[in-house]
A and B are shown apart, each in its own frame.
Chain A
């Protein structure tokens, strides 16, 4: 089946089975490999992308269900002010260890800041608990979100 997808501001035409999850269309059809496969069941959040600004698990989203929605991936998130702020914050305190989950973390964080500009720690925990970081970089993920949201982070909180 052929589908017209709005991905990162560009219309892409793909010829794939409608059941194929968006994750594999991005990775294996369009070469957008920043979005990661972790579990294939929606447990880990490594495959998180934005659908009209909302965080979704692309491993659970059939390509036939995407329709006219605007898809945004980690490769493009830096073009938005919030995305760029998050990427800067992530680098300022060097959030990551292995880094494999971080694309999904940033996408979830960006969706959070899109609906709550000054999230509480409880809101951050709730919004991010679907994203697993196997290396356990959770303190810095939390801190980077707070930095991007304009909070002043205590140095030892960051460390």
Chain B
């Protein structure tokens, strides 16, 4: 799609809509919609920057509708679901639609990223408006041609009908004429009544699926450029390691090796460039084999003492000592605990874990004449541009960045370290295209891990069994002032705002380990700790967790979150809890020895999810028989085909975190795990039956990449307790044989 220069523009205070003639005939429509603030920045607590959201749709003379997908596709289905929203309001047939993946262009597309389950929330209305505006212009062009009023016309499946005269035409026939019309005011364009949706809510097959089953080259790692060399980048075994020396000559003599390039990093191994040695060869395997010849000496002193055992001991000491700071204090928790009829206390912890997307980190780059061209599977390509400038001094204006399909994100590719490495290597061999591919061992050992954490909880229950006081001392990682990336607390975490007396407090210890967001960041760990503990409270109060949650939630209302946080709707929470209790037949315990159900609820990324797990225990073996999920992500499920897959995937992801033995451990900053034998992922036999029920509240749709994950882990832990009487207070779950 290469539109002619803009012919006309309609502007209002909020939006710009540009219509232009498509090369070869047809209508190209571009909507630029200013957003109040950067959603990503807000989600990360960074200063708000002005941002614009763009939507691009064109209708060619032959009736083919092209919709630009601007965000990275990581398997969340966004490349299919956002265009579905545009196409529905345009009222075309899905078979007419083609989708083109945009390159990275901040000025043109605004923010382009995949993270935080944010896209559906943000883009639902603008995507509808854009599709509706294109339809309105086509209608107007048809009305003009037939000399009738637009109100006399109807549309269906990409055709316009004038019932009175029996005439009809395809969108393509009037697309060029429409391009010459003044675009409508986007905020005034009439939208469909949702009952008229023809594409939203249908089971639509992913736009790349047909190519995937044929093995077509669409992933980052499939990038092939003429004369390309394959690269590995050997880094220190421990975080922060500095390069002392390497046997460059020996590696250079290895078969197929063309270049061996020691690179001194910029000292910022977290967000910049770590010291390392690049080996470039004719085949990736040859480059990887040559690593053995390097005999690198590293200075590993920076990471000394950063061991899992030390972290554990530090956490114990911090809990014994008491919190360093308060995060939220409501009422008088200490006083209420002292006078409570029943008092419950327990400690919970969870380990560092890796993202381990199946496509290892990789990036192709070519540097010539001061210009850098990059092919990257990145969830945050624009942050990558900024990082390139910071680490290597290459200005964004000199970089062309192509987005490839991504073989799994899970938050790992929010970071762009591999992109910086590929660019640094490519700059050392100007004119030679380079593809950097990390080995699985590189990927496992140089992640931005979900940080481990420790919680010391206490709760007070009244004579009547009400939760009256709740405290949590959270021990995490940070420099004493700010927590490490993705190591912060959520002060809105239930039961905050629901219990009158509450104290959330925190202690920090330093770490040299890179940490980062992993699917449902924060929530994936906080849900396990808090909902498992609340299950203990429910037992102490002679009730069960669904009843305790319903009693604590109280009447349907909105509970404000601190700062700019998303308000919590107790009515929506109640509805999903009631629904999962119903579909799982909660009161009915499953038959069989050491077999029971467990429940948990969590609210994250605007999604309300309640889940029930049916599990049994034999010796140290846990079997999950079935999981029920009730979720509320608003009024519409844009693409149920993708949505159900997201929910099942999230549930299996959570079960793997709990049951497969996932834990990343350190000795003096060196990661002890290396591949899938010692950091296991879910395999087919682990996948239980999963039943999903949607609760359709009257709210606009929100994202689904993350919120179904958090409740499944505590629901499983609570089922294990119900089955065996043994509390799971530490992840991963490791039961002793009876």
Binding site for B on A (CB under 8 A): 16-17, 20-21, 23-24, 27-29, 31-41, 43-44, 46, 73-75, 78, 87, 90-91, 94-103, 106, 124-125, 128-142, 156, 159
Q: How many angstroms between the C-alpha atoms of A140 and B647 in the bound complex? A: 13
5 A-B Cβ contacts within 8 A? A34-B215, A36-B359, A75-B215, A131-B684, A137-B649
Q: How many angstroms between the C-alpha atoms of A16 and B285 in the bound complex? A: 11
Distance (whole angstroms) from the CB of A91 to the closest CB of chain B: 6
Q: Chain A residues with Cβ under 8 A from B682's Cβ?
A: 132-133, 136, 138
- Report B218-244 residues with CB < 8 Å from chain A CB: 219, 221-222, 224, 230
Distance (whole angstroms) from the CB of B207 to the closest CB of chain A: 10
Q: Is the CB of B209 within 8 A of A125?
A: no
Q: Is the CB of B358 within 8 A of A43?
A: no
Q: Is the CB of B285 within 8 A of A34?
A: no
Asked if B645 is an interface residue, CB under 8 A from chain A, the answer is yes
Q: Chain A residues with Cβ under 8 A from B285's Cβ?
A: 20-21, 23-24, 28
Asked if B644 is an interface residue, CB under 8 A from chain A, the answer is yes
Q: Chain A residues with Cβ under 8 A from B661's Cβ?
A: none
Distance (whole angstroms) from the CB of B2 to the closest CB of chain A: 29
Q: Which residue of B lies closest to A41 (CB)?
A: B675
Q: A36-B358, A98-B357, A136-B687 are in contact. List 12 more A-B contacts (CB 8 A).
A: A34-B217, A91-B205, A98-B409, A99-B405, A125-B684, A125-B685, A132-B683, A134-B356, A134-B408, A135-B645, A138-B682, A159-B692
Q: Which residue of A lies closest to B362 (CB)?
A: A37
Distance (whole angstroms) from the CB of B510 to the closest CB of chain A: 31
Q: How many angstroms between the C-alpha atoms of A128 and B640 in the bound complex? A: 26
Q: How many angstroms between the C-alpha atoms of A23 and B283 in the bound complex? A: 11
Q: Which residue of A lies closest to B74 (CB)?
A: A98
Given A20-B283, A94-B206, A99-B405, do A78 and B77 touch, yes or no (CB 8 Å)? Answer: no
Q: Is the CB of B649 within 8 A of A136?
A: yes
Q: How many angstroms between the C-alpha atoms of A78 and B210 in the bound complex? A: 12
A36 partner, pick from B209, B221, B230, B406, beta carbons under 8 A: B221
Q: Which residue of A lies closest to B687 (CB)?
A: A138
Q: Is the CB of A139 within 8 A of B690?
A: yes
Q: Is the CB of B284 within 8 A of A99?
A: no
Q: Is the CB of B440 within 8 A of A33?
A: no
Q: Is the CB of B357 within 8 A of A134?
A: yes
Q: Is the CB of B684 within 8 A of A142?
A: yes
Given A33-B224, A36-B221, A99-B209, do A94 and B681 touch, yes or no (CB 8 Å)? Answer: no
B255 partner, pick from A17, A28, A37, beta carbons under 8 A: A17
Q: Chain B residues with Cβ under 8 A from A129's Cβ?
A: 683-685
Q: Chain A residues with Cβ under 8 A from B256's Cβ?
A: 17
Asked if B429 is an interface residue, CB under 8 A from chain A, the answer is no
Q: Chain B residues with Cβ under 8 A from A31's Cβ?
A: 224
Asked if B323 is an interface residue, CB under 8 A from chain A, the answer is no
Q: Is the CB of A44 within 8 A of B283?
A: no
Q: Is the CB of A97 within 8 A of B77?
A: yes
Distance (whole angstroms) from the CB of A131 to the closest CB of chain B: 8
Q: How many angstroms between the C-alpha atoms of A73 and B677 in the bound complex? A: 26
Q: Which residue of B lies closest to A94 (CB)?
A: B205
Asked if B392 is an interface residue, CB under 8 A from chain A, the answer is no
Q: Chain B residues with Cβ under 8 A from A137's Cβ?
A: 645, 648-649
Q: Is the CB of A40 within 8 A of B439?
A: yes
Q: Chain A residues with Cβ under 8 A from B409's Cβ?
A: 98
Asked if B212 is an interface residue, CB under 8 A from chain A, the answer is yes
Asked if B437 is an interface residue, CB under 8 A from chain A, the answer is yes
Distance (whole angstroms) from the CB of A39 to the closest CB of chain B: 4
Given A39-B440, A74-B215, A97-B75, do A44 and B221 touch, yes or no (CB 8 Å)? Answer: no
Given A20-B285, A129-B685, do A101 and B358 touch, yes or no (CB 8 Å)? Answer: yes
A-B CB proximity, top 4 nearest: A34-B215, A98-B75, A100-B407, A136-B652
The interface bits of chain B over 273-317 (1 if a CB of A lies within 8 angstroms of the residue's CB, else 0) are 000000000111110000000000000000000000000000000
- Report B359-413 residues with CB < 8 Å from chain A CB: 359-360, 405-410
Q: Chain A residues with Cβ under 8 A from B615's Cβ?
A: none
Q: Is the CB of A73 within 8 A of B215?
A: yes
Given A16-B283, A91-B209, do A44 and B358 touch, yes or no (CB 8 Å)? Answer: yes
- Report B617-650 residues with CB < 8 Å from chain A CB: 640-642, 644-646, 648-650
A100 partner, pick from B282, B408, B651, beta carbons under 8 A: B408
Q: How many angstroms between the C-alpha atoms of A109 and B611 in the bound complex? A: 31
Q: Is the CB of B440 within 8 A of A40?
A: yes
Distance (whole angstroms) from the CB of B628 to the closest CB of chain A: 13
Q: Chain A residues with Cβ under 8 A from B515's Cβ?
A: none
Q: Chain A residues with Cβ under 8 A from B692's Cβ?
A: 159
Q: Chain B residues with Cβ under 8 A from A106's Cβ?
A: 213
Q: Chain A residues with Cβ under 8 A from B103's Cβ?
A: none
Q: How many angstroms between the C-alpha atoms of A128 and B656 in the bound complex? A: 17
Asked if B458 is an interface residue, CB under 8 A from chain A, the answer is no
Q: Which residue of B lies closest to A76 (CB)?
A: B215
Q: Chain A residues with Cβ under 8 A from B560's Cβ?
A: none
Distance (whole angstroms) from the CB of B126 to the closest CB of chain A: 25
Distance (whole angstroms) from the CB of B64 to the closest CB of chain A: 21
Q: Is the CB of A98 within 8 A of B406?
A: yes
Q: Which residue of A lies closest to B210 (CB)?
A: A91
Q: How many angstroms between the C-alpha atoms of A125 and B685 in the bound complex? A: 6
Q: Is the CB of B675 within 8 A of A103?
A: no
Q: Is the CB of B215 within 8 A of A99?
A: no
Q: Is the CB of B283 within 8 A of A98?
A: no
Asked if B736 is an interface residue, CB under 8 A from chain A, the answer is no
Distance (whole angstroms) from the CB of B381 to the closest CB of chain A: 17
Asked if B718 is an interface residue, CB under 8 A from chain A, the answer is no
Q: Chain A residues with Cβ under 8 A from B48's Cβ?
A: none
Q: How many angstroms between the C-alpha atoms of A98 and B219 in the bound complex? A: 10
B645 partner, pick from A41, A124, A140, beta carbons under 8 A: A140
Q: Is the CB of A34 within 8 A of B214?
A: yes
Q: How many angstroms between the C-alpha atoms of A156 and B626 in the bound complex? A: 14
Q: How many angstroms between the C-alpha atoms of A27 and B76 in the bound complex? A: 26
Asked if B208 is an interface residue, CB under 8 A from chain A, the answer is yes
Given A33-B221, A98-B75, do A41 and B358 touch, yes or no (CB 8 Å)? Answer: no
Q: How many angstroms between the C-alpha atoms of A20 and B74 in the bound complex? A: 31
Distance (whole angstroms) from the CB of A74 to the closest CB of chain B: 3
Q: How many angstroms between the C-alpha atoms of A31 and B226 in the bound complex? A: 12
Q: Chain A residues with Cβ under 8 A from B222's Cβ?
A: 33
Distance (whole angstroms) from the CB of B622 to the closest CB of chain A: 17
Distance (whole angstroms) from the CB of B582 to the closest CB of chain A: 16
Asked if B676 is an interface residue, CB under 8 A from chain A, the answer is yes
Q: Which residue of A lies closest to B407 (CB)?
A: A100
Q: Is the CB of B214 within 8 A of A37?
A: no
**Most chain A CB atoms below 10 A, which of B646, B683, B687:** B683
Q: Which residue of A lies closest to B655 (CB)?
A: A136
Given A99-B208, A136-B653, do A44 and B230 touch, yes or no (CB 8 Å)? Answer: no
Q: Chain B residues with Cβ under 8 A from A34's Cβ?
A: 214-217
Given A31-B224, A98-B75, do A138 and B208 touch, yes or no (CB 8 Å)? Answer: no
B206 partner, pick from A96, A136, A142, beta carbons under 8 A: A96
Q: Is the CB of B212 within 8 A of A102?
A: yes
Q: How many angstroms between the C-alpha atoms of A134 and B358 in the bound complex? A: 6
Distance (whole angstroms) from the CB of A18 to the closest CB of chain B: 11
Distance (whole angstroms) from the CB of A58 to the closest CB of chain B: 11
